[in-house]
Amino acid sequence: MNLLLIESHRAARDREEDTGINERQLQISDINDGYERLVTTRSRFIHWYKRLERDLSAPDFSFACAVLTALAKSEPGLTLKQLLSRLQRLESDPSNAN
C-alpha cells in the first residue's frame, strides 16, 4: 500500500507538471497510473520473493507460492472458500492413502 501511495503521488505530481494545474489532490487516474508504474517495475517484487524463499521452510515456501499464484490468476479475487478449494487440489488427502 505504501508503494502504491508513493507511485500515485508521483503520478499526480507528473500530471500537475504536464497540465500546469496545481490541484494538490489525488485523482482516480493518479492511482491507476501509480498502480501501472508499480506493477511494471517487477524488480520491486523479486525482493519479496527472495525474502519468502529465505525465511520460509521449503513446504511453507511452496504453500505461500501456491496461495499467491492462485490469487494472482483470479482478477476479481477469490473468496476464502474458493482459495481453499484450489489449494486442496494441490494437497493429497491423507485419509485416502492405503
What does the alpha-carbon distance between residue 1 and residue 14 come to, in Å, rounded to a whole number?
Answer: 20
Which whole number is the average pLDDT over 37-56? 82
The per-residue pLDDT for range 49-74, each reduced to its tens digit, is 888 999 999 999 998 888 888 888 88
Q: Is the pLDDT of residue 94 over 90?
A: no
**Residues 72 and 45: beta-carbon distance below 8 Å:** no
Q: Supply the pTM of this predicted model.
A: 0.50
CA triplet 86, 90, 95: central angle to 5 degrees? 110
Diameter of the chain measured on Cα atoms: 72
Q: Hey, what's the cell of 59?
A: 513446504
pLDDT at 9: 93
| Model pLDDT, residue 54 | 94
Query: Which grid cell is 95?
Result: 485419509
